[in-house]
A = this chain, B = another copy of it.
């Protein structure tokens, strides 16, 4: 998840897809990248569980998987909180 979100392009994609449901073509228009590059990033974000696909006719709309996002964000928060709590004891 962290690796998926460590790329600036993918961070922007997550932000954009949190506001709108877009297909690959639409995303390709917004980012100055080729369609395969966008597909590649979508794949990485999807594999990390951050996105979900919705088939709509011949298009595939991507959007944020909020449940999963919250879960992952929470997991990360816990890791960091635990580390910070440990550090307090030193």
Contacts and interface: CB of A to CB of B under 8 A. Distances in A.
A86 B19 contact: yes
Given A6-B2, A76-B73, A76-B76, A66 B81 contact: no
Interface in A15-54: 15, 18-21
Band of interface residues on A = 20 to 34
Number of identical protomers: 2
A18 B87 contact: yes
Interface of A: 2-3, 5-6, 11, 14-15, 18-21, 63-64, 66, 69-70, 72-73, 76-77, 79-84, 86-88, 90
A77 B81 CA distance: 12
Contacts of A84: 18, 64, 66, 69-70, 73
Nearest to A80: B73
